[in-house]
Amino acid sequence: LEDIIDSLKRGNVFSLIDAMAILQAATVRFAEEESVNYVNAEPGGSVVVVGDLHGQLHDLLFVLKERGMPSDKVKYVFNGDLVDRGNHGCEIALLLCALKLASPRCVFINRGNHEEAFINIYSGFEEECLQKYDHKVFQMFQSCFDWLPYACVVNESVFVIHGGPPCDEGATVDEVRTLPRGAESARVSVDKRRVGWYKELVWSDPHPEATFIGSVPSHRGAGVLWGKDVSERFLQKNKLEVIIRSHQCVAGGVETCHGGKVFTLFSASRYCGTGENKGAILSL
């Protein structure tokens, strides 16, 4: 893996054969996981949460250099939106899949709204795949993305999700854990109550100063804006303390709302090469 990283630093890309082999193996690996992973730091160790990277490989390589490669002492949760907009989505997704295969209990990847085919077609990742590989590889990325879990519970107290929690009053982590993914989605029926949860998990945003109760439709056209009462209810119901989510570029790389119970984490610094934002990670 160190050799792979050195090669990427020199501007090389994964070969077609390696890319296909990694994606095929990673898809199988993700399919073996449930829709929520449980991650605990080892004594003296940490769990590092990384927010949106959006194809900015230099940010990922900086994090790995500063915090170290995945190990029992340094576990990682990557919170979605690996690709699109930046120029190195293929390298990021393939490197993280390779790290997952090498250290499956030390690397966890949540699905974001940019791990969706129709978004990738319009936001740059499909074009990147076609420039570096071919349409078959793009389809293999999509098959892999379809099996990504939705969330992690870290240290039995922190809910890590790309967008937001389900807004249903009785929503539990266990119900998220059993949501179908990948090929299951076509053959496993979901009860009516949970039908819209996927969009909330990957698309929703917190409203920092909501005067409403519950949630309202989002300007994004998918997911919702949710209020402080939703955060408090979900955390209390599931005996958790904090929600870490990503999905929004914030100036300092991390911001809190809802009384310090919700963190928004974004790791792509100087977003798209023109932003003035910092990138951040959280160590738990």
Q: Which is it for strands 74-78 and 46-50: parallel, antiparallel or unpaired? A: parallel
Q: Give the bridge partners for 216, in sequence order.
A: 225
Q: Any residues with CB less than 8 A from the CB of 141 and at least 6 apart, and which?
A: 23, 83, 90, 93, 120, 125, 129
Query: From start to end of the chain, where are the E strands?
Result: 36-39, 46-50, 74-78, 107-109, 151-154, 158-161, 205-206, 215-217, 224-226, 242-245, 254-257, 262-265, 281-283
- Taking residue 197's Cβ as centre, other Cβ atoms within 10 Å add up to 19
C-alpha dihedral (268, 182, 235, 46), degrees to nearest 10 = -50
Q: Which two tokens stand for residue 39?
A: 């991650």
**How many DSSP H helices and E strands does the chain contain?**
11, 13
The sign of the CA dihedral 44, 58, 124, 70 is: negative
Catalytic (active site) residue 54: no
**Which of 54, 58, 88, 114 is flagged as catalytic?**
114
Which residues are catalytic, by number? 114
